[in-house]
A = this chain, B = another copy of it.
């Protein structure tokens, strides 16, 4: 740990890529969240929960699986599930295959709210990102983000329920 090579600082372009990435995310995240709250009565996180459930063929996922897809901690998901359940957009069911498990199920009302919010949400994403770029740039961005997401998936330790990757330490 003492042989440290010379630090390769970021050059001007790399700096712009990194700080632009951070800044764009901050702004876009806020923008999307604001829009969803105002027009859909949902937070961005809640929209994502419903979206993932809706995408799932059966309309339900067990809590752990859902937390993993959301890239949030299990307790974080428990919290959101409770909120959504209060709002009647999600229901919890016992997992028939595993007594411990809980299935998060999107309700009809949940689907209704999601479908109602979706167009405005997509518009916001277009307005804040996609439609600002040429088709070629969108394709470039998609390629770049595919590279990074795949790499980071293996690199980053998610909150609690992490898949034990390569070597378990003992």
Contacts and interface: CB of A to CB of B under 8 A. Distances in A.
User: How many chain copies does the complex carry?
Assistant: 2
B142 A140 contact: no
B144 A26 contact: no
A44 to B, nearest CB: 9
A146 B152 CA distance: 23
Contacts of A79: none
Interface of A: 4, 7-10, 13-14, 16-21, 23-31, 34, 71, 118-119, 122-123, 125-130, 132-133, 135, 137-149, 151-153, 155-158
8 contacts: A10-B125, A13-B138, A14-B138, A14-B142, A28-B156, A34-B157, A128-B148, A140-B144
